[in-house]
Amino acid sequence: MDRTDSPESMEDAGSGAQVVEPGRLDRVIQDLGLADSRSRAQRLIQDGSVRLSGTVCTKPSTKVKTGDLIEVDKGPDYASRGAYKLAGAFEAFEPMGLPGPEGRHCLDIGASTGGFADLLLRRGASRVVALDVGQDQLIDRIARDSRVLEMSGVNIRDVGPDDLPYRPDYVVSDVSFISLTYVIPVLPAIIAPDTHCILLIKPQFEVGRTLLGHHGVVTEEDRRVQAVERVTRCAEESGFEVRGRIPSPITGAHGNIEYLLWLSNGPRP
């Protein structure tokens, strides 16, 4: 999960202020204390969470003038905006039969600051192993939760069944700089029967660098489709049934369109 998705501190659910000094919208939001960093301000704007004098504004570079009213709806204080991606999967897949994480023993691959883990915990997960190749990235609130076991500095490709405290029956994944075709084949050996997996497909890490556009964005739809099909094929070859697939409700870094895949190794209800 991208660290750029993470707020540096927990913020109120919503707030507003009048502009004193004119300037760019993203800078003014930071200066007014409505976001704790310019990058956080840009995320809020791009996600449609900012209203300028009553109108939603999605361009960070918009010029604002003295007296304009800026209102920011920051939503739940998730550990990262990645939680909104997982929330979108729950909203789409639960009516199709996906069980929730309540009471489940979960594995979060690519946990980073803990956006996915945060939502799992809020939804009643019994335990969460937060695994990431990076070191000590979980925000304190998640790291201190007694239900969380942090496995930092660990590559999922090196994990065997004896390396986990349990065989997870609920898996979520948001990995960067690695293809899911290297992650999925590891899962059958370490998960429980009747496990459900929700994986975030990032085409920018599936298509290869030579096919990336400006800022690492996959601009061609056929390339994104090929990436999703490649991951789907890998899942089926690894013994999973593909139960659902949707575009992520919010984009990734720099506007990349991403997808959520629901897999299961168990029988249909």
What was the pLDDT predicted at 77? 75
DSSP classification of residue 4: G
Ordered per-residue pLDDT tens for the chain, 269 residues = 544 444 333 334 457 888 888 999 999 999 998 887 788 788 788 777 899 999 989 899 999 999 999 999 877 778 888 899 999 999 999 999 999 999 999 999 999 999 999 999 999 999 999 999 999 999 999 999 999 999 999 999 999 999 999 999 999 999 999 999 999 999 999 999 999 999 999 998 998 766 666 667 887 788 999 999 999 999 999 999 999 999 999 988 778 899 999 999 998 87
Query: 3-73 falls under which CATH superfamily?
Result: RNA-binding S4 domain (3.10.290.10)
Whether 14 and 72 have beta carbons less than 8 Å apart is answered as: yes
100 alpha carbon, distance to own chain's centre:
17
Query: Whats the size of the chain, residue-wise?
Result: 269
Helices (H), the chain: 25-31, 38-46, 82-93, 115-122, 140-143, 180-183, 221-237
What are the extents of the domains in the chain?
A: 3-73, 82-264
Residue type, 193: P
Q: Within the chain, how many helices (H) and strands (E) appear?
A: 7, 13
**Residue 140 to residues 8, 14, 233: CA-CA distances in angstroms?**
11, 22, 38
Strand ranges for the chain from DSSP E:
14-18, 23-24, 50-52, 55-56, 63-64, 69-73, 105-109, 127-132, 148-152, 170-173, 196-201, 241-247, 259-264
CATH class of this structure's domain 82-264: alpha beta
Residue type, 98: L
